[in-house]
Amino acid sequence: MAKDKTQKKRRRRLGDRKDGRKVRSLCPMNYVAPYIMPDRGAASNYIEDRVDTAKMDDYIAKKRAEGLKGFGALHVFIATYVRVVSQRPGINRFISRQKIFARNNIEVMLTIKKELSLNSDETVVKVKPQADFTAEQVYRQLNEVIAKDRESAEGNAMDSVAKLLSYIPGLFLKFIVWFLKTLDYFGLLPRFLLDVSPFHGSMFITSMGSLGIPPIYHHLYDFGNVPIFISYGAKYRENYINDKGEVEKRSYIDYKIVTDERTCDGHYYASALKLIRYYMQNPHLLDSPPEQVFEDID
């Protein structure tokens, strides 16, 4: 069903959470799976792929020439994910108390360093793009959030919460974490904690390319509800034999995705992964909003 932008916000029903609505029309297997596999670690699927960067490189050069300083693969990956969510909203579901929820918005997390040095502090920033965002809108929102974070001497709200928790003795901290997990299980975490938590959101992304190393399979966190973790590596060149039998040099970026298999069936995930590859190989399509933004099922 195409989303009508004039449509009124859904009324929260019994069983819904602050950050998502309960999906009530799933098949029996989707209902049973979270009870059979209660933890994300046991329910993780690992996917590896790569993208030919020829069109991406041209696209990045074009955007930089247009004045988008520092525009790069990170922005293409995030904009691609946002576009795929607009077409396959099921990948933005999450599990809580063995139930499947459709997230109310898109929340992307990434770790940044305050300075590019080994011992500098790092923090997690969270951006909340709209489903109809273009690549340029993603770029501007992300840069604004990162710039604001780096300019703040005290750090962001996540840093403040983490600093407060670090003052608590270990035994009491263990109890507090258990208490927070219990609140989260029943959907009772305060809104401000959901807003700042790096463990609650749509997708976590990390660039191994900026470190010059291959991507890793990053685990999903059992605390919180992040259902997808994407890691991508440094660009590299490889010989390729074309249809004429000639050897060409082509550039690629490897990426690895860890997903919570309980949120969608294999066919749905496969469809979404094909779209991810399609948009990364045709990034110019990210310059225009999607013709339709689809809502998840009831």
Q: Give the 3-state DSSP-derived string for 9-64, with helices as H, strands as E and coil as C.
A: CCCCCCCCCCCEEECCCCCHHHHHHHHHCCCCCCCEEEEEEEEECHHHHHHHHHHH
* pLDDT band with cut points at 50, 70 and 90 for residue 13: confident
Q: Could you tell me what percent of the chain has a pLDDT over 70? A: 93
Residue 184 has pLDDT above 70, yes or no: yes
| Distance from the Cα of residue 157 to its chain's centroid | 19
Question: What confidence category does residue 194 fall into, taking pLDDT thresholds of 50, 70 and 90?
Answer: very high
Residue 132 has pLDDT above 70, yes or no: yes
Phi-psi region of 280 (alpha: psi -120 to 50; beta: other; left: phi over 0): alpha
| Domains in the chain with CATH codes | 43-286 (3.30.559.10)
Instruction: Determine which of 56-70, 112-126, 158-172, 186-200 has the lowest per-residue pLDDT on average.
Output: 112-126
For residue 8, pLDDT over 60 is answered with: no
Q: What is the pLDDT of residues 212-263, one digit of tens each?
A: 889 999 999 989 999 999 999 999 999 988 888 888 999 999 999 999 999 9
Instruction: Give yes or no for a contact between 246 and 255, defined as CB atoms under 8 angstroms apart.
Output: no
The average pLDDT across 199-210 equals 93
- What number is the average pLDDT over the span 40-57? 94
The answer to whether the beta carbons of residues 233 and 265 sit under 8 Å apart is no
Q: What pLDDT, on a 0 to 100 scale, did the predictor assign at position 3?
A: 46
Residue 154's pLDDT band (cuts 50, 70, 90): low
Q: Residue 81 pLDDT more than 50?
A: yes
Q: Where are the alpha helices (DSSP H) in the chain?
A: 28-36, 54-65, 73-87, 135-151, 157-166, 170-185, 191-196, 266-281
Do 268 and 90 touch, CB atoms closer than 8 A?
yes
Specify the higher pLDDT residue, 65 or 26: 65
Average pLDDT, the chain: 91
